[in-house]
Structure 1
Amino acid sequence: MNILVVDSHRDETEITISAIKVPWPDAQIIRCTTGNLGLIEVGHSDFDLIIVDLELPDMSGFDFLEMLFLHCSKPTIVLKRGLLESDEVRSLQLGADECLSKPIAQLDLIAKCQAVFRRYIGREDVSSITSGRMRLEADVHRAFVDRREVALTRNENIIMYRLMQNAGRITTYNNVAHAIWGNNVPGASAAIRMCVQRLRKKLCTDDITSVRIVTERGIGFRLVLAK
């Protein structure tokens, strides 16, 4: 098992690593002290889990998450001293799987890691799906609308796949939350709404009837595609 820890705080990183070593003593753990170094490692190696502190010395932790999920879809846990609800919601919006406040309790971190791994085991392996005038290349996080390419984040990619699976029918908040996080975590509905807002802007075309994501208030969303 390969794990990447992106955290500039040495003492706190040691606590994180010692917790991971309890259930996974043979885990190979790489520590990076900056966001840029972490992104370089992600480009060079295949990790089973990424743990990142939002308070990085060279960039915002949110910027790190955004760049990370443009290129990969790995289980990710976010840490921050004094984690606020707004931090958690935004992290989930960007694609993180779990959030923990520092100083971490080692048993909590272990439980979060195990929960994240359970969600990813057996997750459906999809490559592409086409509906109407839209094609989604899910494995590379790219959508094509009338031949125009659109880059998607991890969560946008998952939401778009669910919407295209159910094109013309309602995709519920619970359905999307389960696909992204494994259950309906706190702040999930708000995070999903923000992702859908970004999707609408990204997928906007000259022909407004080409792609529409319709809100079904209190229930979810429905994708309407021109043929």
Structure 2
Amino acid sequence: MTAVLVVDDAPDLLKVLKITLQAHGYDVTTAADGHTALLAASQQPFAVIILDLGLPDMDGTTVIRELRTASRVPILVLSARHSSDDKVEALDAGADDYITKPFGPDELLARLRALLRRTTDPEQEPVVVTQDFTVDLAKHRVVRDRNEVRLTPTEWSVLELLVRNPEKLLTQQQILSEVWGPAYAKDANYLRVYMAQLRRKLEPDTANPRYLLTVAGLGYRFQP
């Protein structure tokens, strides 16, 4: 299910947008101000963010700039501001599209589909953002505390497989077969060693993993 973050300080509109998007198969998270939106975006990877510019705690263009420091997530602006200067400012800050209020649900859904088509181009890969590190799947690059984390090719392969399947349980056999090959499907010791190495490099507390979780007796799961 495609995850969408909707940011607007009007409760009625927020409710309508959530109902409309959910009815069309989207997994919707809502936020009523900029700080809540930035926190949500840091905790979960979204396929697209729908953002109102007139927020109570900060201007929407500030939210866009903050998002762009760590993510390339598509941003669709919804705003009552009709001037070309406002549109240019939002687009220059990093927004991908702009709809003025009032708007019809059909237009919103069409713009959303168009954005998702552009950003799911096979040549483009997402950047997965957590509170402690980011994973750039296109560049094979992991950054923590603004420093690049050096991973071995095998460590990267394990991490990539987990990150591409957020919140999904991957069995030990699945991971071993994908990374090492079917002949290694029962060699769980390989996997335990590499999971321990990844946790040392990425987890803030290796004794209590937050992102690379063990499901006892079954396998592992990436929790963004």
The two structures have a TM-score, normalised by structure 1, of 0.53
Aligned partner of 1:52 in structure 2 is: 51
* 1:122 corresponds to 2:121: yes
Question: 1:1-227 counterparts in 2 under 5 A?
Answer: 1-24=2-25, 27-125=26-124
Secondary structure of the 1:5 match is strand
Provide the identity percentage. 28
Residue segments in structure 2 that go unaligned for 5+ positions in a row: 127-135, 144-224
Aligned partner of 1:214 in structure 2 is: none
Question: Does the CA-based 8 Å contact 1:19-1:109 persist in structure 2?
Answer: no
Aligned partner of 2:172 in structure 1 is: none
- What is the CA deviation profile of residues 48-93 of structure 1, one whole-angstrom value per residue up to 9, with x for unaligned ones? 1101100000001111100011111111100111432111111111
State which structure, 1 or 2, has the greater radius of gyration over its C-alpha atoms: 2
Q: Say what the alpha-carbon RMSD is for the aligned residues.
A: 2.6
Q: Distance in 2 between matches of 1:111 and 1:122?
A: 17
Secondary structure of the 2:69 match is helix
**Cα distance, 1:22 vs structure 2:** 3.9
Q: Which has the higher contact order (CA 8 A, sep 6+)?
A: 1
* CA distance 1:126–1:14, shift in 2 (3 Å): closer
Letter in 1 for 2:109: I
The two structures have a TM-score, normalised by structure 2, of 0.53
**Cα distance, 1:38 vs structure 2:** 0.5
Q: Distance in 2 between matches of 1:13 and 1:117?
A: 21
Q: Distance in 2 between matches of 1:84 and 1:16?
A: 24
Aligned length: 132
* CA distance 1:19–1:70, shift in 2 (3 Å): same
Q: Distance in 1 between matches of 2:69 and 2:120?
A: 21
Q: Distance in 1 between matches of 2:125 and 2:8?
A: 32
* CA distance 1:103–1:14, shift in 2 (3 Å): farther
Letter in 2 for 1:85: S
Q: Distance in 1 between matches of 2:125 and 2:114?
A: 22
Q: Distance in 1 between matches of 2:7 and 2:89?
A: 18
